[in-house]
Structure 1
Amino acid sequence: MSFLSTLFGSKSEASDKIKVLDKNEYAKAISGRPVQLVDVRTANEYHGGHIKNAKNIDFFNPTKFKQAFEALDKTKPVYIYCRSGARSQKAARKLVDMGFEQIFDLRGGYARWS
């Protein structure tokens, strides 16, 4: 392990905890059982349409983002998505830093879902 990865962690550690699922894999994973499903888009985007049972935690509101995710169970998988997938990838990296072990992201975001 290099000096820098010791200081800052390695990307592979984060990527081991973050998995990107296609629409079908994601739908199968969240159906039929309660899961921690989070839409990280803004409230306006969320109100324009969202996946059933998703909780809205706005990525662009850092204080509320941190507080809301601190209330979730870090030992259980969390399923996140945004509009296109870019924002949820940034959110996923923050969640790894917060101690979440399993993060599943929707490839292509809500745009691919609907």
Structure 2
Amino acid sequence: MKSITSVLILFILTLGCAQSTSKPITEFSQNDIENGILVDVRTPEEYNAGHLENAMNIDWFDETFAQQFKKIAKDETIYVYCKMGGRSAKAQEKLKTLGYTKVINLEGGYDAWKEATPD
């Protein structure tokens, strides 16, 4: 019983110390990318209709999606976003499987950012 309690406590502490892998897009600022990269995973058409400042466009649906990240270091902080959060969550998981260790999904996507940003 003592070992089960110890394992549970260790597990809870590990979860509490884990790096956050998501952040509401409305809390994102340009200061966040001073030591990272901002990637819009929407289509080029969506990107051209409006995007966050300093974002590079790497289309989730492009068959060369993974290859386009080869020039980015595996330990670089990468912020990903899309229209509402679905594609960026998938992109985040894909990048993790490719060995990228600091991928932050900007929850809510461009729609949430646009709604929170005055014209």
Normalised to the residue count of structure 1, the TM-score between the two structures is 0.77
Radius of gyration: which is bigger?
Answer: 2
Residue 74 (str. 1) matches residue 74 (str. 2): yes
Structure 2 unaligned residues grouped into runs of 5+: 1-17, 115-119
Residue 39 (str. 1) matches residue 35 (str. 2): no
Deviations 1:37-71 (A, max 9, x none): 100000000000000010000000122x1121111
Question: Which aligned segments of 4 or more residues in structure 1 are displaced greater than 3 angstroms?
Answer: none
- Residue number in structure 2 paired with 1:54: 55
Structure 1 unaligned residues grouped into runs of 5+: 1-15
- Residue number in structure 2 paired with 1:10: none
Displacement after TM superposition at 1:26 (Å): 2.0
Q: Secondary structure, in 3 states, of the residue corresponding to 2:112?
A: helix
Instruction: Give the count of matched residue pairs.
Output: 97
Change in Cα spacing, 1:50 to 1:18, as seen in structure 2 (3 Å) is same
